[in-house]
Every structure is written in C-alpha cells, then in structure tokens.
Amino acid sequence: AQTVTQSQPEMSVQEAETVTLSCTYDTSESDYYLFWYKQPPSRQMILVIRQEAYKQQNATENRFSVNFQKAAKSFSLKISDSQLGDAAMYFCASGTGANSKLTFGKGITLSVRP
C-alpha cells in the first residue's frame, strides 16, 4: 500500500520569491513514480511535474523543480519566481507500475501575495 503525506495545509509566498512545498511518501514498490498536480479555483487538475523513482536526477519544468530524496522518501516541489497564477491547491501523488492508480496527499493551499 502507498501513503502520501502533505503535512502543511497552507503556505504563502511573496510574488517573485521562491517557495517549497513538502511531501513525504511510503511505498513497498520498487517501481514507482511521483507527481505534483495543481488545482486552481477552476478545480481543473493540472499536471505540474513528474519524477521517476529510478532516476537520480531531479525533474525540472520551467519554474518548477523537485527535490527527490529517495532514502528519506521525500519529494518536495520548489516554485521559483512565484506568480499570482501559481495560487492554487497543490497535490503530491504517487503511482506504481503495478496498479496504475494514483494515491494523493491531502493537498496544500498556496497563496501568492502581490
């Protein structure tokens, strides 16, 4: 069974600054993948970034990057140069090659101060 924990319910960041959202996970699988999804007020779930567990290199997607610490089972999301449009709920999720379903954390609400 997989579990995903996001312990911070809310965070706030000043526009143009950097913020890091935390996530820890637990899994007994060796073949697993990690994701961050963004859910703005429109409620659309948007894939932000993906990390394969077998890759040592941290994934990067424009202003978004992850810090993947496999031994610590930690998967944090860093947002650089925060923009007002980054304000949303962010979900960390894990999936495995075996069962294809995503297990989500409880999410964190990010607000961006102008």
> Which residues of this chain interact with other proteins, rule CB under 8 A?
31-33, 35, 37, 39, 42-47, 50, 52, 89, 91, 95-97, 99-104, 106-107
Residue 100 has a CB neighbour count (10 Å cut-off) of 7
Residue placing its CB nearer to other proteins in the complex, 1 or 114: 1
Contact between residue 33 and residue 53 where contact means Cβ atoms under 8 Å apart: yes
The amino acid present at 57, given as its one-letter code, is: Q
Report, in Å, the least distance between residue 5 CB and other proteins: 13
How far apart are CB 32 and other proteins at their closest, in Å? 7
**Which of 44/83 has CB closer to other proteins?**
44
Q: Which is nearer to other proteins, 19 or 102 (CB)?
A: 102
CB of 94 closer than 8 Å to CB of 103 = yes
The H-assigned helical ranges of the chain are none
**Closer CB to other proteins, 83 or 97, in the complex:** 97
The DSSP string of 88-99 is: EEEEEEEEETTT
Q: How far is the CB of 17 from other proteins (least distance, A)?
A: 25
- The CB density around residue 84, as the number of other CB atoms within 10 Å, is 10
**Least distance between other proteins and beta carbon 11 (Å):** 15
